[in-house]
Structure 1
Amino acid sequence: MRQNTTKLNTRVAKAPRTKPAEVRLDELMNAAERLFLDKGVESTTINEIVEAAEVAKGTFYHYFSSKNEIQEALGKRYTDQFLASLETAVGACAEGDWIGQLRAWIYASVVTYVETFPIHDIVYTNHHHHDRSNQAKNAILDQLLGIIEGGMAAGLWAPENPRVVALLIYSGVHGATDDVIATQAKDCTAFAQAVTESCLHMLGVFPDNDSTSPK
């Protein structure tokens, strides 16, 4: 009897455990993202998503009420990852190096957008950067504005309206990067550097009065 109990306990210990909810959700969203990229949102069905994620259809509806809702969730995840990429670039600069931080933010914005635009175009089919109430745009804009205001406090520049400057840099970077994406350039490094320096010129930062070197 004791031996049988031991064998039973061993079998229980080796039994596969249910995946944590966050892992299941991530796999579901990854499957949807792959299918959206491959087939397009309209051509992808919920049945295909759950089959690719290897989950029951009920699991999909536990998290999302529709295909549009999972697309919106992918959009939020994309923005979070984009913001994290910019934060990493800015965080690599020394504290108080506002010129370096601004340069890193602009450069990383160009490179990250070029690297991720296929996903961007899938999750933001309505050209989200033209949406006046878009939360994703506002979050990224606030990040940029914080750097500009930090440089103002340090006496590095003194724009009359820092928010307008932030809007011009944000919109200019996005629009300029759309242009290089359209050309299908294989290497955007030089382009990213040119955009970065041009944006810095808006704040009166030129190579001869900038102690930081180009990336």
Structure 2
Amino acid sequence: MIATRPRPKPRQKPAGAPRTKPAEVRLDELMNAAQRLFLEKGVESTTVSEIVEEAQVAKGTFYTYFASKNDMLVALGERYTQHFLQALEQAIEQCAKDDWVSRLRVWVHANVATYLATYSIHDIVYTNHHHHDRNNKAKNAILDQLMVILEGGKAAGVWQLSDPRINALMIYSGVHGVTDDAIVDRLEDCTAFADKVSVSCLAMLGR
């Protein structure tokens, strides 16, 4: 009878051994690392080498996703806008679907609160946006969201608007303009402030 060697057991990774992360997780961590450094040092002073070191990835990983640091900045801006819109949408969805007054009031509150909480990131990712840049995708996305509320209220007879687009532009510009003042004043609790802003916006619509 021929003796056989016992089959070796498969090698097991030691506890705590790193595992390959999903691409979307790795990308998010890379962008988070860049955002932290941009906030701390500024975009111009931050290098790609510092970003990958902060994210604990190889430099090649950076260039898998981005052609340059500016390319990443554009992606951060798109992510910021997506998160901003999600915050507004989540707030709006707490209201009844046909309560257009509450939806507008909540939209204003969420804009003020979210902008106040994230303006430092906003100022980095939108640093190149100027008045001559009329085709501002982030602004248009938020305006589209506001237009749904204004047109819904108009259709329901809640307010009479000859041109909802003009009203949306005035409300958008007004809300973000006055919130800039709140940022300068370092306002910590924005509740009363947002109440006043929403009252003014509703008054503009005759409510």
Question: Number of aligned pairs?
Answer: 203
User: What is the distance in 2 between the residues matched to 1:130 and 1:35?
Assistant: 29
Encode CA deviations 1:28-52: one digit per residue, 9 max, x unaligned: 0000000000000011000000000
The equivalent of 1:153 in structure 2 is 155
TM-score where L is the length of structure 1: 0.90
Distance 1:130 1:201, change over 3 A: farther
Distance 2:17 2:164 in 1: 59
Q: Which whole-Å CA distance do the structure 2 matches of 1:130 and 1:194 have between them?
A: 30
Letter matched to residue 111 of structure 2: S
Residues 1:172 and 2:174 are matched in the alignment: yes
More helix per residue: 1
- Per-residue deviation at 1:109? 0.3
Distance change (3 Å), C-alpha of 1:43 and 1:159:
same
8 Å contact kept, 1:129–1:137: no
**Following the alignment from structure 1 to structure 2, what is the Cα–Cα distance between the partners of residues 178 and 47?**
34
Q: Supply the distance in 1 between the matched residues of 2:26 and 2:100 (Cα, whole angstroms).
A: 41
Unaligned runs of 5+ in 2: none
Equivalent of residue 194 in structure 1, options 184, 193, 196:
196
Correspondence for 2:48: 46
Report if the CA contact (8 A) 1:128-1:134 is conserved.
no
> 2 CA distance for matches of 1:17 and 1:81?
28
**1:45-95: per-residue Cα shift (whole Å, max 9, x none)?**
000000000000000001001110101100000000000000000000011
Q: In 2, Cα distance between the equivalents of 1:42 and 1:132?
A: 25
Larger Rg: 2
Percent identity over paired residues: 64
Cα distance change on mapping 1:15 and 1:3 into 2, 3 Å: farther
Task: Give a deviation string over 1:181-210, Cα, whole Å, max 9, x none.
Answer: 0111222221111111100111111xxxxx
Alpha-carbon distance change, 130 to 171 in structure 1, aligned in 2, over 3 angstroms: farther
In the TM superposition, structure 1's runs of 4+ consecutive aligned residues that sit over 4 Å from their partners are: 11-15
Aligned runs of 1:30-179 on 2, under 5 Å? Answer: 30-127=32-129, 131-179=133-181
Paired amino acid for 2:127: T
Superposition RMSD in Å: 1.7
Q: Secondary structure at the match of 2:160?
A: coil
Give the residue type in structure 1 aligned to 2:197: V
Q: Name the CA shift for 1:193/1:156 in 2 (closer, same or farther; >3 Å).
A: same
Give unpaired runs (5+ residues) of structure 1: 206-215
